[in-house]
C-alpha cells in the first residue's frame, strides 16, 4: 500500500468548533473507508455528565466534501470509535446513529461519515492524543474497515488502533457460500468482534464460525437470534434489537480498554 507524507492532505474543515485532524486512514474496497479522527481543542460543557456534544463536519477530498458527524462525550477523551456504513447506506443509518449515541453516552468519542463512489488507496498517520481507537462498520462498511485493519503496520500505528467491530459482516453473496470474503480477516492481528444475525443470508453461521477459528486475531462472535442481514427479527422491535447489539459492542470495547489500564 502506498503511503503519503504527513501534511500532504487537506485539513478537515469544522462547521461548528475548533478541531484538528489526528489520523486519516484510506483503503480501497467497494465502499472506501476514510478514517478521519478529530480532537476538540475546546472543553465542551454540559449540565449532564453523560450527555454528548454533536459536531457536524465536512471532510474534503479532491473536489468532494464528505459529510461527517462526531459525538463528543462530556468527559475526558480516552478512546474513540470510527463507524462506517454499508454499500447502500450513509452516516444517518438508524443503527449507526443509535450505536454512536450509546457509545458516546459511555464516554467514547464517536465519528461517523458518509463516503460513496471514491477509490482511495492511502494510509496516513500522525500524532494522537487518545489512548486508542476502534474501527467499526456495518455490512460492506465492516469489510472496508477490515481492509484498513490489515493494512496498518504496527510500526505505523503504535497499537493506536485497538480493535475492529463488524456488524453484519458480508462473508459471501447470497447463495454463493463457495466464494468467501475472508482474506482480510486472516491478516488482522488485533481483536475482532462480529455481531451477526443467525439468519443472515450473507453470512452463514457455520461458515463464519469456521473462519473465526482460523483467524490469528483474538475474536468473538455474538449472534442475534433469527436476525437477517438487516438485523430485522420477526416479533422484536428495531429498538430492542439495537439495544442488544449496542450493549454487546460496548461491553466488548470496555473489556479491552479496562485491560489496557492494568
Q: Which residues contact 173 (CB under 8 A, 6 or more apart)?
A: 179, 202
pTM: 0.73
3-class DSSP state for residue 108?
coil
pLDDT reading at 12 higher than 60: no
Query: Where do the domains of the chain lie?
Result: 13-261
3-class DSSP state for residue 149?
helix
User: Are the C-beta atoms of residues 62 and 91 closer than 8 Å to each other?
Assistant: no
N-term to C-term CA, the chain: 34
Mean pLDDT across the chain, nearest whole number?
73
Cell of 35: 478514517
* For range 227-248, the mean pLDDT: 96
> What DSSP line would sit under 81-106, residue for residue?
EEEE--TT--TT-HHHHHHHHHHHTT
Report the topology of domain 13-261: Rossmann fold (3.40.50)
* For range 213-237, the mean pLDDT: 97
H or E stretch at 22: strand 19-27
Among 49-53, 101-105, 140-144, where is mean pLDDT lowest? Answer: 49-53
CA distances in angstroms from 38 to 77, 99, 126, 170, 251, listed in the order given: 11, 19, 12, 29, 24
pLDDT reading at 227 higher than 80: yes
How confident is the model over 101-135, as pLDDT tens digits? 888 888 888 888 766 543 333 333 333 367 888 99
pLDDT reading at 157 higher than 80: no
How confident is the model over 1-11, as pLDDT tens digits? 333 222 232 33
Given this model, what pLDDT does residue 177 score?
Answer: 95
Amino acid at each position: 500500500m502506498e503511503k503519503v507524507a504527513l501534511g500532504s492532505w487537506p485539513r478537515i474543515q469544522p462547521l461548528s468548533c475548533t478541531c484538528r485532524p489526528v489520523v486519516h486512514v484510506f483503503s480501497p474496497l467497494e465502499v472506501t473507508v476514510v478514517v478521519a479522527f478529530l480532537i476538540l481543542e475546546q472543553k465542551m460543557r454540559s449540565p449532564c455528565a453523560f450527555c454528548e456534544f454533536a459536531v457536524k463536519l465536512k471532510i474534503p477530498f479532491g473536489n468532494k466534501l464528505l459529510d461527517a458527524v462526531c459525538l463528543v462525550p462530556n468527559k475526558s477523551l480516552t478512546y474513540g470509535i470510527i463507524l462506517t456504513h454499508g454499500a447502500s447506506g450513509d452516516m444517518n443509518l438508524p443503527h449507526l446513529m443509535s450505536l454512536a449515541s450509546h457509545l458516546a453516552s459511555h464516554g467514547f468519542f464517536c465519528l461517523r461519515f458518509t463516503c460513496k463512489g471514491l477509490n482511495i488507496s492511502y494510509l496516513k498517520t500522525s500524532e494522537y492524543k487518545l489512548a486508542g481507537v476502534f474501527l467499526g462498520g456495518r455490512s460492506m462498511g465492516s469489510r472496508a474497515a477490515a481492509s484498513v485493519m490489515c493494512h496498518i503496520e504496527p510500526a505505523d500505528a503504535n497499537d493506536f488502533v485497538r480493535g475492529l467491530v463488524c456488524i453484519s459482516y458480508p462473508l459471501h453473496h447470497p447463495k454463493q457460500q463457495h466464494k468467501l470474503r475472508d482474506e482480510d480477516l486472516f491478516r488482522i492481528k488485533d481483536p475482532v468482534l462480529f455481531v451477526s444475525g443467525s439468519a443472515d443470508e450473507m453470512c452463514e453461521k457455520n461458515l463464519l464460525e469456521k473462519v473465526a477459528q482460523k483467524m490469528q486475531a483474538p475474536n468473538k462472535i455474538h449472534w442475534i437470534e433469527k436476525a437477517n442481514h438487516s438485523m430485522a427479527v420477526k416479533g422484536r422491535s428495531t429498538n430492542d434489537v439495537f439495544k442488544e447489539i449496542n450493549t454487546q459492542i460496548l461491553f466488548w470495547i470496555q473489556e479491552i480498554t479496562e485491560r489496557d489500564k492494568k
